[in-house]
Amino acid sequence: MNYARLVRSDQVHSSVFTDPRIFEDELRYIYGRTWVYVGHDSEAEKPGDYVLKSIGRHPLIMSRDEDGLVHLLINRCRHRAATVCQAEQGNSSFFRCSYHGWTYKNNGELIGVTYPNAYAQPPAAASMSLTPVPRMEIYRGFVFGSLAHEGEDLEQFLGPSRLCIDMLVNASPTGKVKLSAGVQRTMYHGNWKLIGMDGYHPNFGHKSVVNLLRRRARLQKNLATDSEQEADRRQEFSDGFEGDSANQTADLGHGHTRLITTSTWDSDYESKIEPLVRSEAGKEYARLLAESYGVDRVRKILVEARDPHIGIYPNLQIIESQVTLLRPMAVDRTEVLMWPALFDGVPDEINQERLRRHEWFYGPSSFGTADDSEMFERMQRGMQSDIDPWVLLARGAGREKELDDGTLIGHITDEVPQRGMMREWARLMTAGSSDHQRTATSQ
């Protein structure tokens, strides 16, 4: 299939989202070749901790051994391929296959084969241990894996997107975040590529949220139960996505994209950010940041920590107070897993406020997630029609600005992220398809 023909400069063919054959190739050429976010090392925090993960259809175990090292292991017995770990998470020094009793240490090493005398040569740990993911790297607690044995290193792959991970992690005085509050899972009947950094939709797709915030702001002003500045801040959600907003979108390369939603927060620090640290817990938080990073950096950290809003291709999003992982299940089915990201080393009240913000907008019983899922499913249904099959991604195409590092910048409502993600999709799919054809020909 000629994938380059399915993506134009400002359009994409709807079969990209609906064709099961294309989905199968995505698992092979994208999830099977590039770096993929797997999990966070805080999910396996103590020696012996493990949690089940995946890359595409490959079942994985992310474990921490007795020496404190994190491993990504294929959850597949080397004997007859049964999964050796069934519990979603737990703590164990060993994984034992229930089918024939083969046993492995939590670092993957084979340590026990039942009735070994029947083998001409008993299976050895050197050749029959659990298979590790070919490449694994960790950036500031974020664990990435690649099923390809060769390729660029993780930091090259992440490029400028590393700065947004830094924005989140640096908001902890100890430089650590924890995904320890649990995970919320939702499923929608739509393609995984429909999720992206989209600054055009909030004032329309989340109209009920906008109206609620505006009513609450007016009520608080009228009842004088809150400062006028705080009430105005509640209306900021909609203002940040208006046509005259100073906020921006960005294409960082490699399919990584960003919404820059803090454009006015530094200049409006006293009204938007500083009130958040007036409480005793807030003052203590600011003191701890100053102690760790210096007084001069506190203001910048507090501004950036409000909304690192980034999509790291193909399956990671960091949005405000949460980390999101996308799991493609089928061409028209996607699972979304959302963890509140808590700061290490801060007063409990700071993390409680982060949890409340997460719960309010994200998750199956929230105000925001249901809106997005409904829109993705409507798009999936609409794209079943192959009459006029091209999907338009042209908004702002004539006003992008390229920075010295190659980053493309547009208005917050422009479709800069969508064009960037589809360019990377076409590149990866074309390269993967070409390599596959060369291999087939040589065989």
For the chain, the structural domain boundaries read 40-147, 157-200+241-261+307-430
Give yes or no for residue 179 having a pLDDT over 80. yes
More confident residue, 57 or 368: 57
C-beta neighbour count of 404 within 10 angstroms = 5
Rounded mean pLDDT, 230-242:
63
The closest of 314, 37, 297 to 192, measured between CA atoms, is: 314
pLDDT value for 231: 45
Give yes or no for residue 153 having a pLDDT over 90. yes
- State which CATH number among 3.90.380.10, 2.60.120.620, 3.30.365.10, 3.40.50.740 fits the domain covering 157-200+241-261+307-430: 3.90.380.10
pLDDT digits (tens, 9 = 90+) for 312-352: 999 999 998 899 999 999 999 999 999 999 999 999 999 99
The full DSSP string for 338-378 is EEE-EETTS-HHHHHHHHHHHHHHSSTTSSSHHHHHHHHHH
Rounded mean pLDDT, 199-216:
86
Rounded mean pLDDT, 65-90:
97
Q: How confident is the model at residue 360 (pLDDT cuts 50, 70, 90)?
A: confident
pLDDT value for 251: 98
The answer to whether residues 37 and 158 touch, using CB atoms and an 8 Å cutoff, is no
pLDDT value for 210: 82
DSSP letter for 317, please.
Answer: E
Give yes or no for residue 275 having a pLDDT over 90. no
**Could you give the CA distance from residue 312 to residue 197 in angstroms, rounded to a whole number?**
10
**Could you give the CA distance from residue 173 to residue 300 in angstroms, rounded to a whole number?**
14
More confident residue, 265 or 333: 333
Q: How confident is the model at residue 216 (pLDDT cuts 50, 70, 90)?
A: confident
Rounded mean pLDDT, 74-92:
97
Rounded mean pLDDT, 221-245:
63
pLDDT digits (tens, 9 = 90+) for 5-62: 999 999 999 999 999 999 999 999 999 999 999 999 999 999 999 999 999 999 999 9
Rg (CA), the chain: 24
Give yes or no for residue 276 having a pLDDT over 60. yes
Rounded mean pLDDT, 229-256:
78
The closest of 57, 387, 392, 379 to 189, measured between CA atoms, is: 379
Rounded mean pLDDT, 402-428:
97
CATH number of 40-147: 2.102.10.10
Percent of the residues in the chain that have a pLDDT greater than 90, as a whole number: 77
Interior angle at CA 420, CA 416 and CA 426, nearest 5: 145
Residues 152-161: contacts with CB within 8 Å, 24+ apart? 154/35, 157/34, 157/35, 157/254, 158/35, 158/254, 158/256, 158/312, 159/252, 159/253, 159/254, 159/256, 160/252, 160/253, 160/256, 160/405, 160/407, 161/252, 161/254, 161/256, 161/258, 161/310, 161/312
Q: Which amino acid is at 415?
A: E
Q: How confident is the model at residue 65 (pLDDT cuts 50, 70, 90)?
A: very high
**Could you give the CA distance from residue 273 to residue 275 in angstroms, rounded to a whole number?**
6
Average pLDDT, the chain: 92
Rounded mean pLDDT, 62-86:
98
Token code pair at residue 386: 């192959």
Rounded mean pLDDT, 277-282:
86
pLDDT value for 306: 79
- Which pTM was predicted? 0.93
The counts of H helices and E strands in the chain are: 15, 23
